[in-house]
Amino acid sequence: MTTTDDPRSGRVQPTGAVAGYRPERTLRLSVELRRQFRRRRTLGVLALMVALPLVLIGALQLGGAEEAEENARINLVDVATSSGLNFTLFVLFATTSFFLVVVYALFFGDTVASEAQWGSLRYTLATPVPRMRLLRQKWLAAFVLSVGALLAIVVTALVAGGIAFGFGPVQTPVGVTLAQGDALLRLAGMVGYLAVHLLVVGALAFWLSTVTDAPLAAVGGAVFTMFVFAILDQVEQLGAVRDYFPTAEEFAWTDLLQTPVDSGDLFRGVVQSLGYAAVFTALGFRHFARRDVTS
Amino acid sequence: MRPVRGPVRPRPRPGARATPAASLLLLVLVLTGLLPPAPAAAAGDVTTEDARVPVGEGDGAAELDTTLYLPASGAPAPAVVLAHGFGGSKQSVASDARDLAGRGYVVLTYSARGFGDSTGQIGLNDPRSEVADLSALLDRLAARDDVRLDADGDPRVGVAGASYGGALSLLAAGYDDRVDAIAPQITWHSLTAALFPSQVGEPAADTVAATPQAEDGGVYKRLWSGLFFGVGSAPSGGLLGALGGGGGGAPAAADLPAALGSVDPATVDPQAVEQLLTCGRFTPEVCAAYQSAASTGTLTPEVAAVLDRSSPSTVLDRIDAPTLLVQGTQDSLFGLGQADANARGIAADGTPVKVVWYAGGHDAQASEGTTADLRDQVAGWFDWHLRSADDPARGPDPGTGFSFPAPTGVTASVGTVQGGSRTVTTAAYPGLVGTEAAQRSPVPVDGPLQPVVTPAGGTPAAITVVPGLGSLASALTGTAFEIPGQFAAFESEPLGEAVEVVGASTIDLAVASPGGSATLFAKLYDVAPDGTTTLPAGLVAPLALSGLSADPTAPSTVSVTLPGIVHRFEAGHTLRVVVSSTDQAFALPAEAGVYSVALAAGGNAAALAVPTVDGRSESTGGTSRWLVLLGVLVALGLLGWLAAVLWGRRRRARVSRVEPDGEDVPLRFTGVTKAYKDGFVAVRDLSFEVRRGQVLGLLGPNGAGKTTSLRMLMGLIRPTDGRITVFGHEVHAGAPVLSRLGSFVEGTGLQPHLSGRDNLRLYWAATGRPAADAHMEEAIAVAGLGAALDRPVRRYSQGMRQRVAIAQAMLGLPDLLVLDEPTNGLDPPQIHAMREVLRSYAATGRTVIVSSHLLSEIEQTCSHVVVMAKGQKIAQGTVEEIVGTGGSVLVGLADDADTDRAVAVLEGLPGVAVERTDEGLVADLDGTSRARALQALVAADVSVEAFTPRRRLEDAFLALVGEEA
């Protein structure tokens, strides 16, 4: 730095950055969340999360439960109206294989691709937000939003269901009764499990989001993949290969209703989900690190 | 009888069709030790040898259809004989055999006589025929080079099988000392007890599922027996073939017409036809026993003789081969009591016995996971007991323990799809020689004396179990079907805490019958608080009672053992003992009658003795593995964090070589090339530099590589070659020096749902820099939107968006401002204002780069210009140099006739050269001012229509643009 006469030389750091710029302060989580919460999509999904349990309560009170799909697993529909906790379990059961999948895919798949579509990605990157940091912050924000949505639906179901059906203990389809405290603990476990298990969808959507500039392609691609696996899961001939599907163990959280709890499938589900999520996330980072941003 | 799955079932190798990503995942999981690696069974290398083996002599001669599965290595290996279930053939166990061969065993499978393609008649595991056949096959194994021998003529061999095959393995171990280990599954101890059960009397032993059996037979198990016999009596080799072949059940190889032609009605013996039609492939002896039992429903000595001959119960004391007894909890044909009796008998002499109960049996298919687990258990048993001590594949000692599925309150049919079945293990099977007796805890039940009606003809009858489907009825409706009036019920208080029943409970009843005898069925229901009843596994205990008191006030006391079950009665549920008079699965007395049934002790003292087993729940780690997982995650997280820190430090350590003149040269391109994979070269060897305070114009037609160059400069695109420095620092993605750059390139990048002001604010917030550095008001002034700034961007016009985007680029007053086509979409006053803004911005010592495809634009805004075309620089310099103001003029004349005169006038001026073109005259003034040239023309009375400055560059540039167009 020979330019001592430069009036601006005091504003420059040795790295070449302007004074006041610190990579680790760029795109803080609070800022990213603020950006996301300004979007109608985010608010819409959260509103839907709150509305769905209310709609289900209405449907159950109209006798719509008969229409609910029969499932070979423990059938939570039969006992959905016995208490608020029961209703919450039913809501989780009804949303696991489709609704929550879409929500996760939406929050994770939209995150990078929508920025690319708006053209704001290049300005964020030129700020500069280091690419790995950008992805990390986006991933965390999507995770926070997804878990927030999951919590929103559970809390709404718990409160609204409690008001509608009473704050009683859980009645499992087997006829076992779980005290409220115990049941809440188990419910927390279920939410935790779902939050982790759905990461498979999220991470896949996230990866796709770094590949394509079309948010719809990323979200749709992830949801589509999950559905394909859900369908393949019905093919008995595939045998044990199905245990390695990303959709495997998606209902394992119902094991938490057993007494004593059998955590075998839960464990497998968690480990497998984390594995898949790690692989997909790593693919996303790897792709984005090398990619030419032309959007 | 439904075909029973054998001990080993092939599972598609995990990951066989998996994607690379999945394989990677698997690798990761295996490496981190979270999933056990799949057994390296190279089933593909297994070879097979088919052979037809003649056995027996005289009437008992038969030919057995055998297949030998040989492992890849030809070294002498232990052998395993797999026997199939009733109604099956060697094909039923083919996949099991292949798997075991893959584990290094020589595996022999064969169709037992009377089944599959083997000839001969079914003797129900007659020691003289079926058991002798197995011995003959062992002789053949002993003669092979690739089978390990214990002694001459004595192969090292294990026998496994399910049901019919299981009984054969027990009998073979009893009759043939050469058998070294057996693994019988879901099989019988005594056929008499299985088909004529009567669970009356004191429990035979201290074992958990000890089930007494009345000496003189019990209640005929009608439905199962019928199914059993029906399977064997169908002449599976083909009726015509059997008639014509003369061998009694030879395979019908010929097609139908040919077979018809070969049968001469005159030669057919009518008695043989009847025998064939009614007895199928059964030996006449077995057939006669069945017909006697089926028609009378009673156990005659002749029938008993046939059944006992086929029962391992007679030879248990002779078995000294280590035995793995596998029995199903969903089995109304051969219940847990059968395996219990086998275990007792074999262990009595100190022979090692391991007992495994699993969720499945003749009534319910085991889940995939359970089946695979059983396969591994059987293989593990043979690994330990057949392989030599120095064999690395020997594996761990399976021990002589006891394992059973963890009791759940879930009914069978739901439980099997539930999937997650844990296993409980204990060190020993309770009650065997040398172990502690089974624990039994009392559960008080209560109920008054009740009359029980038995209807004439035995109908209507209660439905509890459907052979092969188990407790289907109870699963469908949630309750077994009991006929009112036909049962007595005794119920416990709601349980204070859950009771896990593992084995057969006992209870003492007081029964009176006017006729002195009674046929009753005892069962143990699980009654939920809401009244839902569940009959665990759909099992009932038939009671054939005789010699009863006729007086209900002085009834006879009867000790009853209820069915062996594994079931958890949840807290709040009640246990209900039901004693009914009918069950459609059994032969019932034809005469009507009324019995009285009460509890023997009366009142609360009457206790149901419930067996329980304390064991270690084998949920492969339980909570500890969650801690392991957490530990692994934390460790991975720490590793990742450490790697990131180190990587960042290394990165900071090699902060790029800073060019010393960096502050004076805000931007320098050195030989920059960007080539895409498809061969298209967007920018080729571009070199130029921009000095501080300059307003540089990047001029070129569309597609010249301007935007690509700007993107490379922003770190969005990585150049294939060359080097770009900003203030002396090399640019790469996320280079900190980019924080001194403000940019607006191709599209505004504004979030349409936010107002202009929010866009600017959020953009600045994302930079993480202090709010005071933003100079927000100055930027807003540049945008000049006024009140519109607070409206959502999506309602903005193109020009408004453009101005907000330029304002965004100027946030923080960057030292280098890069604008791509900034005046597109602006109206003339705005364009003018923009030029002023840029010029004054540069005047503060900052640098501005503007790209455009319009020469006039560059000319009016910039101080310097770089001209690009087709990705290459074609000119560079100050605008004056390039544009060449004062150079030449284009003169348009009103009248072409004046041309010559005009040329003369112009050439008359000093240094001026004139050229005639299509557009008019082009005069190179070379220092002469335009004013003077025009004056001269006017003075010469030449009517001048147009007189415009002409740039030297313009021709070349227009030509380029024209080419592109």
Instruction: Tell me which residues of chain B, numbers 376 to 415, contact chain A at a CB-CB cutoff of 8 Å.
Output: 406, 408-411, 414
Same domain? For B785 and B813 the reply is yes
B70: pLDDT confidence band, cut at 50, 70 and 90? very high
On whether any CB of chain A is under 8 Å from the CB of B766, the answer is yes
The pLDDT, as a whole number, for residue B339 is 93
> Is pLDDT of B110 > 80?
yes
Q: B21 and A122 in contact by Cβ < 8 A? A: no
Tell me which residue in A26, A176, A294 faces B570 most closely, judged by beta carbons.
A176
CA distance B750 to B760: 9
| Max Cα–Cα distance, chain B, nearest Å | 156
In a domain, B26, yes or no: no
Q: Do B740 and A9 touch (CB under 8 A)?
A: no
Same domain, B175 and B284: no
Is the Cβ pair B738, A128 closer than 8 Å?
A: yes
Contact criterion met (CB < 8 Å) for A262 and B421: yes
Average confidence score pLDDT of chain B: 81
Looking at per-residue pLDDT, the higher value among B948 and A121 belongs to A121
Q: Which residue in chain A has the smallest CA separation from B740?
A: A18
- Same domain, yes or no, for B289 and B364? no
Out of B71-80, B145-154, B474-483, B776-785, pick the least confident: B474-483
* B interface test, pick of A76, A117, A174, A199 with most B CB neighbours within 10 Å: A174
CB contact under 8 A, A127 and B22: no
Domain count for chain B, please give it.
Answer: 5
- Same domain for B875 and B857, yes or no, is yes
- Region B623-630: mean pLDDT is 80
How far apart CA B615 and CA B305 sit, in angstroms, is: 40
Q: What is the pLDDT of residue B37?
A: 40
Cis before A260? omega within 30: yes
DSSP character for A236? Answer: G
Whether the Cβ atoms of residue B357 and residue B208 lie closer than 8 Å to each other: no
The more confidently predicted of residues B73 and B159 is B159
CB < 8 Å from A in window 519-578 of B: 528-530, 532, 568, 570, 572-573
SS3 B928: coil
Q: Which of A9, A236, A244 has the most B C-beta neighbours within 10 Å, making it the best mutation to test the interface with B?
A: A244
Q: How many angstroms separate the CA of residue B73 from the nearest CA in chain A?
A: 28
Separation CA B43–CA B47 (nearest Å): 9
d(CA B502, CA B492): 18
Cross-chain CB nearest to B745 (options A122, A252, A274): A122
Comparing CB atoms, the residue among A31, A126, A243 nearest residue B738 is A126
Residue B41 lies in a domain: no
Alpha carbon B110 to its chain centroid, in Å, reads: 34
Asked if the model's pLDDT at residue B4 lies above 80, the reply is: no
Domain boundary (B257, B288, B308) is at B308
Asked if A260 and B617 come within 8 Å (Cβ–Cβ), the reply is: yes
- Which residues of chain A have a CB within 8 Å of the CB of B35? 271
More confident call, B254 vs A53: A53
Residues B302 and B317 in one domain: no
Q: What CA–CA distance (Å, rounded) separates A12 from B305? A: 104
Per-residue pLDDT band at B467 (split at 50, 70, 90): low
In a domain, B904, yes or no: yes
Dig out the tokens for A75 from the structure: 């059938």
Domain boundary residue, one of B367, B395, B426? B426
Chain A residues with CB inside 8 Å of B745's CB? 122
B727/A12 Cβ within 8 A: yes
Question: Measured between alpha carbons, how far is B878 from B898 in angstroms, rounded to an integer?
Answer: 37
Q: Which of residues 452-491 of B touch A (CB under 8 A)?
A: none
**Is A292–B716 a contact, with Cβ atoms under 8 angstroms apart?**
yes
Are B875 and B894 part of one and the same domain? no
Cβ neighbours for B220, distance < 8 A, ≥ 6 positions apart: B195, B196, B293, B294, B297, B298, B299, B586, B587
Does residue B808 sit at the A interface (CB-CB below 8 Å)?
A: yes
Across the interface, do A16 and B372 touch by the CB < 8 Å criterion? no
Tokens of A199: 């990461």
Higher pLDDT, B322 or A66: B322
Structure tokens given for B645: 């820190």
- For the ranges A39-43, A209-213, B420-424, B692-696, the lowest mean pLDDT is seen at B420-424
Residue B762 is assigned to a structural domain of this protein: yes
Q: Which of A69-78, A232-241, B141-150, B842-851 has the lowest mean pLDDT?
A: A69-78
Pair B829, B892 in one domain: no
Q: Are strands B353-358 and B402-405 parallel, antiparallel or unpaired?
A: parallel
Q: Which of A1, A26, A264 sits opposite B663 (nearest CB)?
A: A1
What pLDDT was estimated at residue B704?
A: 86
Nearest CA-CA partner of B903 in B894, B895, B913, B911: B913
Closest CA to A100 of A222, A216, A207, A188: A222
Identify the weakest region by mean pLDDT among B186-190, B354-358, B512-516, B785-789: B785-789
Taking contacts as CB-CB distances below 8 angstroms, the residues of chain A near B738 are: 126-128
Burial class from Cβ neighbours inside 10 Å (0-12, 13-18, 19+) for residue B376 reads: middle
So what's the pLDDT on residue B341?
92
* Residues on chain B touching A244 (C-beta within 8 angstroms): 14-15, 18, 22, 26
CB of B20 less than 8 A from some CB of A: no
**Rounded to an integer, what is the distance from CA B335 to the centroid of its chain?**
33
Query: Quick one: pLDDT at residue B360?
Result: 85
Per the CB < 8 A criterion, the answer to whether B251 and B119 are in contact is yes
B653 touches chain A (CB under 8 A): no
Give B839 or B18, the one with higher predicted confidence. B839
Query: Residue A118 and residue B752: Cβ atoms within 8 Å?
Result: yes
Closest CA to B573 of B505, B500, B501, B495: B495
Do the domain assignments include residue B658? Answer: no
How far is the alpha carbon of A215 from chain B, nearest alpha carbon, in Å?
15
Q: Is the pLDDT of residue B808 over 60?
A: yes
| Residue B806 placed within a domain | yes
Asked if B529 and B580 sit in the same domain, the reply is yes
Report the percent of chain B where pLDDT is more than 70: 84
CA distances from A8 to B691, B815, B837, B848, B849 (A): 15, 9, 20, 16, 19
DSSP-derived secondary structure for B674-694: EE-TTS-EEEEEEEEEE-TT-
What pLDDT was estimated at residue B435? 79
* Inter-chain CB proximity B745 and A124 less than 8 Å: no
H helices within B730-774, ranges in order?
756-767
| Residue from B413, B379, B563, B423 nearest B6 by CA | B379
pLDDT value of residue B385: 93
CB contact under 8 A, B652 and A15: yes
Query: Does B360 fall in a domain?
Result: yes
Which of B414, B758, B766 has the CB atom closest to A74's CB atom? B414
Residues B576-593 have a mean pLDDT of 88
Pairing of strands B179-185, B106-110: unpaired
In the listed set B879, B905, B935, which residue is the last one of a domain according to the structure? B879
The verdict on B524 and B570 lying in the same domain is: yes
Q: Do A118 and B750 touch (CB under 8 A)?
A: yes
One domain, residues B192 and B339: yes
Please say whether the beta carbons of B352 and B183 come within 8 A. no
Interface test with A, best of B424, B738, B759, B793 (most A CBs within 10 A): B738
Q: Under an 8 A CB cutoff, do A263 and B626 touch? A: yes
Highest mean pLDDT (candidates A22-36, A64-78, B203-217, B248-262): A22-36
Kindly identify which residue of chain A lies nearest to residue B750, measuring between CA atoms: A120
Tell whether B666 is within 8 A of chain A (Cβ): no
pLDDT at B765: 92
Chain A's closest residue to B720, CA to CA, is: A292
Using a CB–CB cutoff of 8 Å, tell me whether B628 touches chain A. Answer: no
CB contacts, 8 Å: A111 with chain B: none
At residue A72, the pLDDT reads 37
Query: B706-753: per-residue pLDDT in tens?
Result: 999 999 999 999 999 999 999 989 898 888 899 999 999 988 888 888
Closest residue in B to A278 (Cα) is: B25
- Please answer whether residues B185 and B7 qualify as being in contact, where contact means their C-beta atoms are separated by less than 8 angstroms: yes
Nearest by CB to B409, which of A176, A240, A265? Answer: A176
Across chain A, which distance is largest between two alpha carbons, in Å? 84
Mean pLDDT of all residues in A3-15: 58
Candidate from B291-300, B328-337, B723-732, B763-772 with smallest mean pLDDT: B291-300
CA distance B536 to chain A (A): 13
Q: Which residue of A has its CA nearest to B412?
A: A174
The minimal CB distance from A239 to the residues B11, B410, B812 is found for B11
Range(s) of the domain holding residue B272: 222-308
Among the partner-chain residues A20, A130, A177, the one whose CB lies closest to the CB of B734 is A130
Confidence check on the interface: ipTM exceeds 0.90, yes or no = no
Q: How many helices (H) and strands (E) would you count in chain A?
A: 10, 2
Task: Tell which wins on pLDDT, B27 or B465.
Answer: B465
B14 lies in some domain? no
Residue A52 confidence class, pLDDT cut points 50, 70, 90: very high
Please list the residues that pair with B358 across neighbouring strands: B328
Answer yes or no: are the C-beta atoms of B732 and B722 closer than 8 Å: no
Is B216 in a helix, a strand, or coil?
Answer: coil
Judge contact between B583 and B482, C-beta under 8 A. no
B190, B235: one domain: no
Taking an 8 Å cut-off on Cβ atoms, the answer to whether B417 and A73 are in contact is yes
Backbone angles phi, psi at B693, to 5 degrees: 85, -5
- CA distance between the termini of chain B: 84
Interchain contact B790–A (C-beta under 8 A): no
Give the separation between CA B467 and CA B462, rounded to whole angstroms.
14
A21 and B633 in contact by Cβ < 8 A?
A: no
CB contact under 8 A, B762 and A275: no
Query: Which among B18, B419, B736 has CB closest to A244?
Result: B18
Q: Are residues B70 and B189 in the same domain?
A: yes
pLDDT in tens, B639-681: 989 998 888 787 766 655 788 888 889 999 999 999 998 889 9
pLDDT score for A173:
66
Which among B28, B530, B766 is the nearest to A127, CB-wise? Answer: B766
CATH assignment of the domain containing B895: 3.30.70.870
Instruction: Output the pLDDT for position B725.
Output: 92
pLDDT value for B662: 80
d(CA A167, nearest CA chain B) in Å: 19
